[in-house]
Amino acid sequence: HTREQPYMCLKCWKSFSDCSKLIIHQQLHTEEQPYKCGECRKSFSRSSNHLTYQLVHTGELPYQCL
């Protein structure tokens, strides 16, 4: 159980420990991604992921710890 991740996506540089996980991940890059972040170059296939990601730039914390 090492943390080695030798399988890297050449489109976004994300790394994986298992080749099969890389293959599944790479399918994301073939889908249409019409939702673009206005602050950076990242894009998304789902509007919900885009909206969640925007919190990275705004710093907004919409949820409270219990």
- Mean pLDDT within 31-59: 86
Per-residue model confidence (pLDDT) at position 11 = 92
Residue-by-residue DSSP string for 7-26: EE-TTT--EESSHHHHHHHH
User: What Å distances lie between residue 5 and 15, 18, 21, 49, 66, CA to CA?
Assistant: 6, 7, 11, 25, 34
pLDDT tens column, 5-28: 999 999 999 999 999 999 888 878
Residue-by-residue DSSP string for 27-41: GGGGS---EE-SSSS
User: If you count them, how many residues does the chain have?
Assistant: 66
Which domains does the chain carry? 1-30 (3.30.160), 32-66 (3.30.160.60)
Percentage of the residues of the chain whose pLDDT score is greater than 70: 98
Per-residue model confidence (pLDDT) at position 16 = 96
Of 43 and 1, the structure prediction assigns the larger pLDDT to 43
- Mean pLDDT within 43-56: 86
